[in-house]
Each structure stands twice: as structure tokens, then as C-alpha cells.
């Protein structure tokens, strides 16, 4: 849905037929429950299409794809993300937070346009599965996964745009009556997110492990991870602390992988640090991080487009000896024999001229087929949990505690750096500054940085500093750019009922 609720049962049926299962060629205006859906396979196929169809990273499709996905886009719109391509200025507008409601749909308005409707699809699927005569335990789990998906997607959209549009079941069941729905209030959106994720968590397994048939499906751990993110972004430190402690319970089985670089290898995927990842496999779905970030003159890899970069300024904030630097290419000998580094950066995209190459996923050992990679794409991991918990503890009490320092040190020492002592910090603000740096180094291009800067209150200042550093012209970034705009068509179709975010 954009501004108008206009979604039919037949559309869902066709979507399922295309994406998940084999159906007869005859398509009816409405789903006949005596024909479809009736079997457990039908129910699973509906969930595949209406839920997991959104949370993919398959080429250029899915909420987490490497080209236009939410992690790439939000980290580009932070203090360290860059793209060497011009593309009509779209990447520059994203990286400088100077986007608008028109001409910027790539990576800015596309999430509202392409994914809002999925919440409605999930709502209809919950209703249909609820009435099916299938195994009750399967029904309960599938419905819980759908509730998790609604809450998860609602949080992503809320984080990007603010209050969202939610269609009720009665409206969805009467698609012939075109009805313009307003955006929910901020309070109603927040309530929906919490209720959906809380309800889902009741009926999902804590986690899936390597080898489990269900690995990659939504879990109780994912529900609590999204709730942790939500409470952090809404400054509810008590609740955030509660969620962080929940995820530390042994029932979930989460832990840190001993070596940072091993997290992102094909050999070590489905590791204990992964809270949720998009399963990738050749012939199923694969991602295109390597061609987007790798240059075409790097030895041992062909086909790079030299696009994605991390600014040199941010890279130089890494401490010497930080093992996380090993996943970043900041010096190499080109196929032509030239040594590129900070002193001799080269020119244009296929070089280090605009920044270093963020190569967290291991290109050397990846089983690539052309430009496609099947290393599972990580969305959330346990290091995120413990560092957010440390932050919540300090923000809640406005004081540095031994527990918070210990949690931060678990990530810091894994990176090969010296542990902090409690007296290493002059106060709570100093701790939060150092934690912000640590999270920036730990989670680069995992979609955390924009949220971290907004929560810290430093987003606008950091983006203006970035613009100055790179010599980009005005306009100066203001608080209006903390939220992305809705696309212009949604406002036009909304006929004054759907409101644009301030400043656009």
C-alpha cells in the first residue's frame, strides 16, 4: 500500500504462485478456501511469499540486498559511507543527507514504496492460516512468524520514516472500496511494534542452530533483538536493558566467535554469534556485496565495480593492532603493478581515492559464481546485543559501571585491543563516546551507524562535518534529515490525508 489501500486476495495468490509453489494455471478473483489454501504446504508457501519474500538479500531484491537494501542505505547516510559512482547524484545525496521526496527513490523512498504493503499481506495471511484445518503446532508457529515479521518490518519503516500506515483486516477484505488510510500516530505505531514482537516471542523457538531444518526462520531471539533495537531508539533504557539481559540467557545459545574475521566466512556461517541472517545459497538466493565494493584491478578477483567505500577519515580512527582492520582493504598492489595506499590512493572509483574498501565478507575463500556470493548475510549478531546492553546500563544510571565496562571489553579484546578499566573513563559521556567509536568499528556496513548517531544526538553534527570534509556544497544538514521522506506519489495519492515528514 502507498496511500490507498488497494490489495486483493487474487494478488496474494498470484504472488505466492510466482515465488513459492506450483499452482494450477486458473486464477480466480478470490481465494476459494475449499481449494486453496488447505494443506500444510499451502500454509508454508503463503508464509514464504507474504513474509520471507520481504526479508531477502537476493541480487537486487529484498529488504537487505547489497545494492538498495536498508543496511547499505543507512550506513551510506552516515558519517563514513561513500559510493564512487555518480548515478545522477543519487549516491551523493544519500551520503550527504541532502535527499528529497523526488528524484531520490533509490535507497531513500524505496523502502516505503516497496515494503509497506507486506504488512498487509502478512495480516491477510494470518487470517487465512487461522481458519485452516492443519496441525495446530505448525499453525501456531507460522502465525507467530507472521507477527514477528509485522513487528520487524514496522520497526524498520518506523526507524526510517516515522509513523506508518496500518490497514485493518476489514479494510483489506474489501479491496473494491478504495480507502485512503492516514499514517498512524507515533504512539499507535510504537504500540503495534511492541505488541507484535511480544506476541510472536511467546510461540517461537529461542533460536536455530547449524544443521537445524528451521535455520533462517524467525525466532524468539530475533523478536527480542528487534525489541532491544526499538527500545534503544526510543530511549527506553529500562526496557532495553531487560531485552539485552533476556538475550544473554543460556537458552538462546548466543556467544562471540573468537576471531572477528571468521564471522563472515562461508566455512563459519550459522555460528553462535548470529542472531539472524539471510540464508544464501547458489540456486536459491545470493548477494552482490563483492562487485559493489571491490575494484576491478584487485588481484585474485575480477568484475569489481569499485563503488562502496569507507572514508579515510573514519578508517584512521581504528587503533593500531585492531584486528577488524584485517577485513578492510587499505593497501594493495593492482593488476598493473601499482601500489595503492594512503599516500598513493590512485584516481576515481577503481582505487582508494575516495576511501578504503569495506570487505568484511571474505572474498578470498568465498565460493563465488560470477558476481554472486552465497555467504549468509548477517542482519543481527550477539556483539550488537552486549554493546547495546552496556550502553543502556550507562544511559539509564548516567554512570559507568563495572558490568558495562566488562561488556564493552568482550568486544574490544576480541579485536585484539587492550581492555578498559573503570577509571579509563572520565564519566558517562566519555564512556558513550568510546562506545560509539567501538560500535562504529565493529559494525561497519551492518546498518547500525545511522541509528547509533541519531540515538547519540550527534547525527546532524557528524553529517555536516562529513560534508565539510568532502567539500560538498550546502544545504546544511538539519534535524529534518533524521527521517527519510515519503515518495511524492504517496503524498499526491494521499490527497491531504497522508502527511509528508517535516522539511520535505
Residues 6 or more apart whose CB falls under 8 angstroms from that of 24 comprise none
- What pLDDT score was predicted for residue 302? 83
CA distances to 80, 175, 311, 389 from 316, in Å: 11, 55, 9, 27
Q: What is the mean pLDDT of residues 271-286?
A: 97
Confidence class of residue 13 from pLDDT cuts 50, 70 and 90?
very low
Q: Taking the alpha carbons of 318, 322, 324, 326 in that order, is the dihedral positive or negative? A: positive
- What pLDDT score was predicted for residue 89? 87
Q: Widest CA span of the chain, in angstroms?
A: 72
- What pLDDT score was predicted for residue 33? 61
- What pLDDT score was predicted for residue 34? 64
pLDDT at 115 over 60: yes
pLDDT at 28 over 70: no
Q: What is the mean pLDDT of residues 390-409?
A: 98
The pTM assigned to this predicted structure is: 0.93
Write down the domain spans for the chain.
Answer: 4-207+483-494, 287-364
- What pLDDT score was predicted for residue 106? 77
Confidence class of residue 10 from pLDDT cuts 50, 70 and 90?
very low
pLDDT at 145 over 70: yes
Residues 6 or more apart whose CB falls under 8 angstroms from that of 228 comprise 240, 243, 244, 247, 385, 388, 389
CB contact at 8 A, 141 and 203: yes
37 prior amide bond cis, ω within 30: yes
User: Which cell goes with 359?
Assistant: 570487505
Partners of 5 in the β-ladder: 179
- What pLDDT score was predicted for residue 5? 40
Q: Taking the alpha carbons of 112, 48, 184, 225 in that order, is the dihedral positive or negative? A: negative
Q: What is the mean pLDDT of residues 268-294?
A: 97
Under CATH, which architecture does the 4-207+483-494 domain have? Alpha Horseshoe (1.25)
Residues 6 or more apart whose CB falls under 8 angstroms from that of 424 comprise 405
- For 352-363, the DSSP string reads TSS-BEE--S-T
- What pLDDT score was predicted for residue 31? 58
Q: What is the mean pLDDT of residues 296-306?
A: 91
Confidence class of residue 35 from pLDDT cuts 50, 70 and 90?
confident
- What pLDDT score was predicted for residue 86? 77
Per-residue pLDDT of 154-168, as tens digits, reads 999 999 999 999 999
- The region that residue 478 occupies, defined by phi over 0 for left and psi between -120 and 50 for alpha, beta otherwise, is beta
Which range, of 7-21, 64-78, 318-332, 414-428, averages the lowest pLDDT?
A: 7-21
- What pLDDT score was predicted for residue 177? 83
Which range, of 300-314, 317-331, 463-477, averages the lowest pLDDT?
A: 463-477
pLDDT at 24 over 80: no
φ/ψ of 12, rounded to 5, equals: -65, -45
pLDDT at 14 over 60: no
Q: What is the mean pLDDT of residues 395-419?
A: 98
* First and final C-alpha spacing in the chain: 21
- What share of the chain has pLDDT > 90, as a percent? 86
Amino acid at each position: 500500500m502507498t496511500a490507498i489501500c488497494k490489495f486483493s486476495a487474487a494478488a496474494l495468490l498470484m504472488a505466492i504462485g510466482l515465488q513459492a509453489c506450483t499452482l494450477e494455471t486458473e486464477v480466480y478473483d478470490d481465494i476459494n478456501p475449499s481449494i486453496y489454501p488447505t494443506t500444510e504446504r499451502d500454509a508454508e508457501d503463503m508464509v514464504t511469499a507474504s513474509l520471507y519474500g520481504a526479508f531477502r538479500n537476493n541480487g537486487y531484491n529484498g529488504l537487505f540486498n547489497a545494492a538498495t537494501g536498508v543496511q547499505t542505505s543507512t550506513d551510506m547516510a552516515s558519517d563514513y559511507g561513500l559510493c564512487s559512482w555518480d548515478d545522477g547524484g543519487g549516491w551523493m545525496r544519500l551520503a550527504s543527507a541532502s535527499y528529497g521526496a523526488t528524484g531520490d527513490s533509490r535507497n531513500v523512498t524505496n523502502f516505503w514504496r516497496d515494503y509497506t504493503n507486506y504488512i498487509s499481506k502478512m495480516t491477510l495471511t494470518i487470517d487465512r492460516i487461522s481458519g485452516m484445518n492443519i496441525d495446530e503446532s505448525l499453525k501456531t508457529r507460522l502465525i507467530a512468524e507472521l507477527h514477528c515479521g509485522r513487528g520487524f518490518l514496522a520497526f524498520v519503516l518506523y526507524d526510517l520514516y516515522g509513523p506508518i500506515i496500518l490497514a485493518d483486516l476489514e479494510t483489506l477484505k474489501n479491496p473494491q472500496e478504495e480507502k485512503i488510510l492516514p499514517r498512524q500516530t507515533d504512539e499507535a505505531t510504537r504500540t503495534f511494534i511492541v505488541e507484535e514482537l511480544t506476541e510472536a516471542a511467546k510461540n517461537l523457538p529461542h533460536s536455530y542452530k547449524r544443521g537445524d531444518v528451521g535455520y533462517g526462520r524467525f525466532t524468539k531471539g530475533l523478536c527480542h533483538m528487534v525489541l532491544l533495537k526499538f527500545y534503544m531508539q526510543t530511549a527506553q533504557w529500562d526496557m532495553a536493558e531487560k531485552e539485552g539481559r533476556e538475550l544473554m540467557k543460556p537458552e538462546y545459545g548466543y556467544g562471540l566467535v573468537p576471531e572477528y574475521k571468521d564471522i563472515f566466512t562461508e566455512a563459519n556461517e550459522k555460528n553462535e554469534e548470529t542472531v539472524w541472517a539471510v540464508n544464501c545459497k547458489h540456486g536459491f538466493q545470493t548477494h552482490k556485496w563483492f562487485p559493489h565494493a571491490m575494484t576491478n584491478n584487485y588481484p585474485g578477483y575480477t568484475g569489481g565495480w569499485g563503488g562502496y567505500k569507507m572514508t579515510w577519515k573514519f578508517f584512521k580512527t581504528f587503533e593500531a593492532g585492531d584486528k577488524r582492520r584485517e577485513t578492510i582493504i587499505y593497501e594493495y598492489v593492482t593488476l598493473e603493478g601499482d601500489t595503492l595506499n594512503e599516500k598513493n590512493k590512485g584516481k576515481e572509483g577503481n582505487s582508494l581515492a575516495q576511501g578504503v574498501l569495506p570487505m568484511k565478507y571474505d572474498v578470498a575463500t568465498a565460493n563465488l559464481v560470477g558476481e554472486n556470493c552465497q555467504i549468509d548475510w548477517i542482519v543481527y549478531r550477539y556483539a550488537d546485543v552486549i554493546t547495546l546492553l552496556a550502553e543502556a546500563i550507562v544511559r539509564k544510571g548516567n554512570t559507568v559501571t563495572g558490568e558495562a565496562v566488562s561488556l564493552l571489553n568482550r568486544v574490544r579484546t576480541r579485536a585484539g585491543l587492550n581492555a578498559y578499566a573503570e577509571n579509563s573513563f572520565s564519566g558517562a559521556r566519555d564512556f558513550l563516546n568510546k562506545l560509539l567509536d567501538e560500535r562504529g568499528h565493529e559494525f561497519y556496513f551492518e546498518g547500525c551507524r545511522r541509528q547509533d548517531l541519531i540515538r547519540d544526538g550527534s547525527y546532524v553534527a557528524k553529517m555536516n562535518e562529513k560534508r565539510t570534509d568532502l567539500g560538498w556544497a550546502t544545504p546544511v544538514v538539519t534535524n529534518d534529515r533524521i527521517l527519510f521522506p515519503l515518495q511524492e506519489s504517496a503524498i499526491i495519492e494521499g490527497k491531504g490525508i497522508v502527511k509528508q515528514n517535516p522539511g520535505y
